Amino acid sequence: MSDKTAAASVTTVPTHARPWFERYSWTVFVLIGAFLLLIGASDFSNATADHTIAEDGLNEMLIGLLAIVVATGGFRRGERWAWFTMSVWTLWVVAQGWLAFDTGRTGEGVTAVLMLALCLLALAVSFRNSFEARL
């Protein structure tokens, strides 16, 4: 009976600890989401007669909130659906960057490119955590 217990404990103990950048890659999305939430709140509160700016601010707030909720929930636990959700969320960053460069807003475009680089890095680092075989 003690042999079965010892064998079970050996198979359930992880062979190595995750590096810190794998364990905390979800914080990149939380920080970007918080940044979008603040920028969106600023745009939304400053829009007086221009409904386009108010819509952009609301869009940024909702997208930022989505990133925070998914990152602190499933992405932090390494769930596959959350990894795919954040991959699709990254496409929003691409679209916003393209739109910003297309309309001549270079500052917003550069910000979107930096956010894209951080998102892709966080997705690449967290890939193993989300897709390795679970026992």
User: What is the per-residue pLDDT across 62-108, written as a single tens digit (0 to 9) for each?
Assistant: 999 999 999 999 998 888 999 999 999 989 888 888 888 888 888 88
According to the model, what pLDDT value does residue 42 have? 87
According to the model, what pLDDT value does residue 1 have? 52
The DSSP secondary-structure symbol of 15 reads S
pTM: 0.76
Whole-angstrom distance, CA of residue 130 vs CA of residue 134: 9
Whole-angstrom distance, CA of residue 75 vs CA of residue 50: 36
51 token code pair: 């409904």
Whole-angstrom distance, CA of residue 53 vs CA of residue 44: 7
According to the model, what pLDDT value does residue 135 have? 47
User: What is the per-residue pLDDT across 27-55, written as a single tens digit (0 to 9) for each?
Assistant: 999 999 999 999 888 888 887 777 777 88
> What torsion do the CA atoms of 35, 72, 133, 120 make, to the nearest 10 degrees?
0
- Number of other residues whose CB lies within 10 A of the CB of residue 110: 13
